[in-house]
Amino acid sequence: MADGSRPCPHARTWSTLATPASAQDAERSDDTTAQALLAALDVSSFAAKGEAIEAIVRSDDPRARGWLQALLDGRLQRTDDGRFVVVLDNAGRQWPVEDALTGEALGEMSRRDLDRIGINNALRNQLRSAIAVVDLYAADVGLRRASAERLLGEVDGDLAGPLAEVIEAEPDARVKERLLQALAIYRLEQGEVEAIDDLRGSLHPRVRVALARAASGAVESRAAADDGPVLAEEARRALSGIEQKLKVNRAVETLYFGLSLGSVLVLAAIGLAITFGVMGVINMAHGELIMLGAYTTWAMQQWLPGQPGLALILAIPAGFLVAALAGIAIERGVIQFLKGRPLETLLATFGISLILQQLVRTVISPLNRTVVTPEWMSGSIAINDALSLTLNRMVVLGFALVMFAALILIMRRTRLGLEVRAVTQNRAMARSMGIRATRVDILTFALGSGVAGLAGVALSQLTNVGPNLGQNYIIDSFMVVVFGGVGNLWGTLVAGLSLGVINQVLEPWAGAVMAKIIVLVFIILFIQKRPRGLFPQKGRAAEG
């Protein structure tokens, strides 16, 4: 076989299984015959057990699939009186069981009263292949797809003929494609050059293994050199085309991970951009506001155990509120007394960040906490055999874009946004027009801090929550603000997404630390040419 696995040991059973009605609609065989089929498994010889497995498959008994799966899982067992049962749950000392013949629930039995039917690795391979064949006739398309997937690299000469008939009758395109590839791998192993046409462009690992083996000359071509293309050369061409497709898929994956990382940077930096643009304050405690949002998500899940989805939804307003209140406390308690003194403000907020970190270590724990990802955010969307997009990152990316759009609306459509823009451009003129700059400062700091809390909620779905969470993003947030242009929301969006993608591109060959150093050097050189960033802010912030 192309991947080194053993040939399918139950291949001769295909002639019996070739009629779908035999696997789906056959009537229940009498209990005496079924008992004999199961009793044949209860022997010491593994070879005899293999023959018994083939007999079960040939029996056309509608219970055969369940017996085979239970045997593979170690749940098919025998009682002291010779009765065969299926263990439903093998946790603890008392196991709930059901009769293997009738499906009747028999209550709980002690594991000491049961004898497991043992199997070895060869029998496990045989069982997996047998189950795959049986599942090809299942009404559930999911079972048929999984079965076709397992047959890749498992087809031999006895399977090849009947498999072609199954392919013609299969209505599902995905199942048909996999079965065609399984048959083509077998044909390629037999030296048929034409089989490469059915494998060309496939990104499945087993297909690539089979083509690589043929390209290395391990498979002898049936075609003469002057009658057609040489097998190894055609296999190399097919592999070359697949490699090009893989490069494109890797680039898409890198872009996706970069955008998801960039979306987190946008959320982390956008609040900083607002407060920095309006107040000119370098808030070194901004990372700890992110941390508070993440811990709020964890706390909500502790409050609502077993409901991670509801807890996450409620954590969005809660995280915003907790971080906003903390931001107001920082602004009223410290920053308002240090206006116009940037160095003192930086040192004071750095001290606040250390206090918040230690407070979390003391009150909660110095250890990281895990936030459960809801089921609707778990898993991934398979684009093809080489590219899958994780749902949690997709949701975080969408969440960041929604929050950005909401901030744009606040800044463009509300009185607060109008006053913020006025104070940002010219604080003295805004005061002379009756705008209460102090009130604007408080609300702006609360808004920026609340957005940082939302960043923490999003980050809780991507990484563990710990006291040092914010420290990992504070420097990156400042880089995004400087690169995009202080106080400019669109600049923050472009800069955050750009730096996320750049980091993701550099990390594979430069390493995580060196990638950040390269990005930092790039920004230093960039601000030498454009000190005000990509999108410079107009007004007082720009002039300062």
Boundary-marking domain end, from 229, 261, 278: 229
Residue 94 resides in a domain: no
- Once rounded to an integer, what is the mean pLDDT over residues 253-280? 84
Whether residue 189 is predicted with pLDDT greater than 80 in this model: the reply is yes
Q: What is the pLDDT of residue 487?
A: 67
144/20 same-domain check: yes
State pLDDT tens for residues 476-512. Answer: 888 888 888 776 788 888 888 988 888 888 887 887 7
Q: Is 109 within a domain?
A: no
Residues 272 and 151 in one domain: no
The residue with greater pLDDT, 171 or 25, is 171
Query: Residue 395 maps to which CATH number?
Result: 1.10.3470
Q: How far apart (Å, rounded) are the C-alpha atoms in residues 114 and 83?
A: 10
241 within a domain of the structure (yes/no): no
Name the domain boundary from 196, 229, 262. Answer: 229
For the stretch 206-232, pLDDT in tens is: 889 888 888 887 776 665 544 446 788
45 sits in the region (left: phi over 0; alpha: psi -120 to 50; else beta) called beta
Shared domain for 347 and 441, answered yes or no, is: yes
Residues 399 and 273 in one domain: yes
| 320 belongs to a structural domain | yes
Same domain membership, residue 277 and residue 225: no
Average pLDDT over residues 42-64: 83
Residue 389 and residue 439 in one domain: yes
Assigned token pair, 97: 């069981």
pLDDT of 476 reads 84
Q: Place 158 in a pLDDT band, splitting at 50, 70 and 90.
A: low
Give the residue carrying structure tokens 């050097």.
Answer: 521
The pTM assigned to this predicted structure is: 0.72
Q: What is the mean pLDDT of the chain?
A: 82
- Dist. CA 474–CA 456, nearest whole Å: 12
**Pair (188, 252) in one structural domain:** no
Higher pLDDT, 463 or 57: 463
Residues sharing a CB contact under 8 Å with residue 361, sequence separation 6 or more, in sequence order? 467
Q: What are the Cα distances from residue 39, in Å, to 84, 121, 123, 457?
A: 8, 21, 17, 57
**Domain interval for residue 33:** 1-74+117-229
Pair (259, 212) in one structural domain:
no
Question: Do 144 and 212 belong together in one domain?
Answer: yes
What is the model's pLDDT at position 328? Answer: 92
Residue 88 lies in a domain: no
Domain shared by 285 and 158, yes or no: no
- Say whether both 137 and 163 belong to one domain: yes
Residue 49 lies in a domain: yes
Give a yes or no: residue 82 inside a domain. Answer: no
Residue 79 in this model has a pLDDT that exceeds 90 = no
pLDDT confidence of residue 229? 65
509 is a domain residue: yes
pLDDT at 74 over 80: yes
Phi, psi of 534 (to 5 degrees): -65, -45
Q: What is the pLDDT of residue 299?
A: 93
Same domain, 287 and 207: no
Q: Which pLDDT value is given to residue 223?
A: 55
pLDDT of 453 above 60: yes
Tokens of 328: 């107001």
How many domains would you assign to the chain? 2
